[in-house]
Amino acid sequence: MYYTLSLSTTNLKTKMKALSILTVSFFFFLISCRKDEFTELPAGTTPYVLDLPENLAQYLPEMEIPADNPLTVEGVALGRKLFYEKKLSGDHTQSCADCHFPDKAFSDVVDFSIGIDGSIGTRNAMPVINVGWMNTLFWDGRSVSVEDQAFGPVVNPVEMKNTWAKAVSDLQSDPEYPALFKKAFGTDVIDSVLVVKAIAQFERTLISGNSPFDKYLRGEPTGWSEADILQAYQGYALFMDETKGDCFHCHGDQYNPLWTDNSFHNNGLDAVITDKGLGAVTNNPNDDGKFKTPTLRNLAYTAPYMHDGRFATLDEVLMHYSFGLQNSPTIDPLMKSVDAGGVQLSVTERNLIKKFLLSLSDDEFVTNPNFSAP
């Protein structure tokens, strides 16, 4: 039986803190903590103050918000309404929320997201969680800001199949929107830039940091039994162990509460690469088959998993890393057990890591009334 089964949670916290501290400097190297100078807020608007859970506030740099799009109460409210607005699609049947369901941690429920006329995409919709600290978005990293990301779906021929001219015209003729844009941005003349700025403001408020694991680290009631928390921390020990799960190189630790390195890896899904991922963006063959490391937060809600939704359950994900790795020219060196098919985790070890992963799921996030349709 693996040695951590006999450890108390207190001893585990001490042991894991010693291991975790080694990766702190690496995480802060990955994320800039530069703070932009904000331009003047639109007249009559109220600054929106982000309410961060203690461990996020302690270990994350200050959210980097564009100087020309500061958060305001009015802008966030408008962005929330637009996130659920079906008039952004060509036939007024689909909104952002139709591929990013709030009760699914703003992810989709199918492997490939479906557009307005039934067109099927090629990727699983990534969850919208803590994106204000993300320096790239989409599985292939083709967008470098939340605003940039929000431009794409409206005109995507597989998604909303609209033009920005039509979308803006439909909003401009709506009886509510001109006044809402006036309140948020000081003008009732709507354009695509203001639309995506508002959506980006709302998306930056979608902050998750109140999972049972977060609460345990903060010394708060978790809603879990002591036995469940102990198993979760034992799973975390395996997650951090370079000879066992060895997951932290890509997903970080408790001092990186994003649970992603914000980088790209070929994690051994295929021997023959058919989706180039990052390589299609950079045109560098060394990037073929590399995809962004997804956050581990809210995995209880975000199935199916991987860029193409190929795994329906966490058990399948853990089996892949244990026995299913496929070698290819660009496979990441971190997949060092590829010749053995994976890290060869036992059933007990896989179940403990699964318990830890589920402890990162935040019920308050998926039920937050501030995130639902207005």
3-28+210-364 and 73-207 have identical folds: yes
Structural Rg of the chain based on CA atoms: 21
69 forms beta bridges with: none
For all residues of the chain together, what is the average pLDDT? 91
- List the CATH code of the domain at 73-207: 1.10.760.10
* Residue 264 pLDDT greater than 50, yes or no: yes
Q: What are the tens digits of pLDDT across the range 1-47? A: 233 333 444 444 444 444 443 343 333 333 333 333 445 788 899 99
Q: What is the pLDDT of residue 39?
A: 59
What percentage of the chain carries pLDDT values higher than 90?
A: 88
290 forms beta bridges with: 277
Q: What is the pLDDT of residue 26?
A: 37
Topology (CATH level 3) of domain 3-28+210-364: Cytochrome Bc1 Complex; Chain D, domain 2 (1.10.760)
103 φ/ψ angles, rounded to the nearest 5 degrees: -80, -5
Nearest of 107, 126, 140, 350 to residue 266 by alpha carbon: 140
Local confidence band at 208 (pLDDT 50, 70, 90 cut-offs) = very high
Q: What are the tens digits of pLDDT across the range 188-201? A: 999 999 999 999 99
| Residue 151 contacts residue 159 (beta carbons within 8 Å) | no
Active-site annotation, residues? 159
* Contacts within 8 Å (CB) and 24+ apart, 112-119: 112/308, 112/309, 113/159, 115/156, 115/157, 115/158, 115/159, 115/160, 115/161, 116/89, 116/90, 116/91, 116/159, 116/160, 116/161, 117/91, 117/161, 119/157, 119/158, 119/159, 119/161
- Domain residue extents for the chain: 3-28+210-364, 73-207
Q: What are the tens digits of pLDDT across the range 292-332? A: 999 999 999 999 999 999 999 999 999 999 999 999 999 99
Query: For residues 177 and 171, what is the distance between their CA atoms, to the nearest angstrom?
Result: 6
| Residue 299 contacts residue 360 (beta carbons within 8 Å) | yes
* Residue 179 pLDDT greater than 60, yes or no: yes
Q: What is the pLDDT of residue 278?
A: 98
Q: What is the pLDDT of residue 40?
A: 76
Residues in the chain: 374
Query: For residues 350 and 353, what is the distance between their CA atoms, to the nearest angstrom?
Result: 5
Tokens matching residue 248: 């932290």
Q: What are the tens digits of pLDDT across the range 101-143? A: 999 999 999 999 999 999 999 999 999 999 999 999 999 999 9
**Sequential DSSP letters for 51-62:** ---HHHHHHSPP
pTM over cut 0.85: yes
